[in-house]
Amino acid sequence: MSDIAVRPQEWMEKISGLREHIGKVIVGQQDVVEQMLWCIFAGGHALLEGIPGLGKTMLVRTVSEALDLSFSRIQFTPDLMPSDITGTNILSFGQHGDTGMTFQKGPLFSSIVLADEINRATPKTQSALLEAMQEKTVTVGGVTHRLPKPFFVLATQNPLENEGTYPLPEAQLDRFLLKIEVSYPSADELKEIVKRTTSSHEFQVERQMTGDELLEIQRGAKEVLVAEEILDYAVRLLMMTHPEEAAAPEAVRKYVQFGSGPRGIQSIISVSKVRALCSGRMHVSTGDIRAVALSALRHRLFLNFEGQALGITTDHVVREVLQALEASA
């Protein structure tokens, strides 16, 4: 281990307090909140998919306020230009009439960036976001500017509408650590949502953690141990998503064109370390691997024509892989 002071119990309590505080604002969606926290403490970006009105924007804003981080919301539209999100050089005039170019920062220069309806932006704008997600930098006019630390892109997309959208390229999908499905609330949760949103009482979000504390937990999560047999388990899981593998289940061989790439297992291990830390453990278990596999792999499998025609989902395929992996263990 490095010289970082490892305090799993203290970190677990901080994360637990953060989770409970978010729950005072967000009704239900415990799995979504949990997965988003895994993503943040693993230092990655998240893609949230769900129909409008499920509180995705409120969730991201609440997390940013509870973490005391700067927040920007970008509403993606087809006419959005790269400079609208990255910033641009503007002509400035000095006191004595001299002129010069000054860089005006765009909304990407925040610690948490909500990319609302990301698939409505053109590929040109999406490519500008891709540099920020991968390199944590923005290049304008040949000059590279570093983004703040920590930096997260939490993007949303609506699965119902395809008209006027630009599907995310595989390279950009792969940059998202997790793809989180936001489900419809239950009847009891709907009643609670109505009570909270139609009354005069408004809950004030209080800071639960600073940016420095978040970075410390991120560094601590990297110190969580992964035994060789656990790593082998994760590798077998990933390899079974490839149709040419002998151990691949029937659903993979019939419906998958391409399995997950190396970023899939990197995501699984990174998020599993955070999940272990959230439980006060400094070692990853097979339970951690199974718990994070669905959200880490659902956007990294590409179905063939038969799978798409039959309406097979990548969630179904990943579940089949997990079942086959358990049967072979």
**Is the confidence at residue 171, as pLDDT, over 60?**
yes
> 84-93 contacts: CB < 8 A, separation 24 or more?
84/125, 85/125, 85/128, 85/129, 86/128, 86/132, 86/138, 86/140, 87/138, 87/140, 87/145, 88/140, 89/140, 89/141
What type of residue sits at position 304? N
What is the distance between the alpha carbons of residues 299 and 241, in angstroms, rounded to a whole number? 12
Task: Residue 46: name the closest of 178, 151, 167 by CA.
Answer: 178
What is the distance between the alpha carbons of residues 308 and 303, in angstroms, rounded to a whole number? 6
Task: Residue 75: name the closest of 18, 35, 125 by CA.
Answer: 125
Q: What is the pTM of this model?
A: 0.86
What is the distance between the alpha carbons of residues 182 and 29, in angstroms, rounded to a whole number? 7
49-77 pLDDT, tens digit per residue, is 887 777 777 788 888 888 878 888 988 88
Q: What is the mean pLDDT of residues 214-232?
A: 90
**Is the confidence at residue 328, as pLDDT, over 80?**
no
pLDDT of residue 121: 84
CATH no. for 6-79+108-209: 3.40.50.300
**pLDDT band at residue 239, thresholds of 50, 70 and 90?**
very high
Which residue intervals of the chain bear CATH 1.10.8.80? Answer: 224-328
**Is the confidence at residue 288, as pLDDT, over 90?**
yes
Look-up of token digits 């992964």:
226
Give the whole-number percent of the chain exceeding pLDDT 90.
26
Q: How far is CA 247 from CA 133, 240, 242, 325, in A?
A: 34, 6, 9, 9
**Is the confidence at residue 209, as pLDDT, over 70?**
yes
**pLDDT band at residue 129, thresholds of 50, 70 and 90?**
confident
Q: Are 124 and 83 in contact (CB under 8 A)?
A: no
Round the CA-based radius of gyration of the chain to a whole number and report it. 21
Q: What is the mean pLDDT of residues 152-159?
A: 85
**pLDDT band at residue 5, thresholds of 50, 70 and 90?**
low
Sequence-distant (6+) residues with CB within 8 A of 71 are 60, 61, 64, 65, 110, 111, 112, 113, 114
CATH superfamily, with its number, for domain 224-328: Magnesium chelatase subunit I, C-Terminal domain (1.10.8.80)
pLDDT of residue 269: 95
**Collapsed DSSP state (helix, strand, coil) of residue 145:** strand
Which residue intervals of the chain bear CATH 3.40.50.300? Answer: 6-79+108-209
Q: Are 295 and 263 in contact (CB under 8 A)?
A: no
pLDDT of residue 149: 86
Q: How far is CA 250 from CA 8, 28, 191, 209, 314, in A?
A: 41, 35, 43, 46, 14
The helix (run of H) or strand (run of E) holding residue 277 is helix 262-278
Q: What is the mean pLDDT of residues 234-253?
A: 92
pLDDT of residue 94: 67
pLDDT of residue 329: 64
- Alpha helix positions (H), 30-152: 30-41, 56-66, 82-86, 123-135
Look-up of token digits 């892109």:
153
Q: What is the mean pLDDT of the chain?
A: 84
Phi/psi at 100 (5° precision): -165, 170
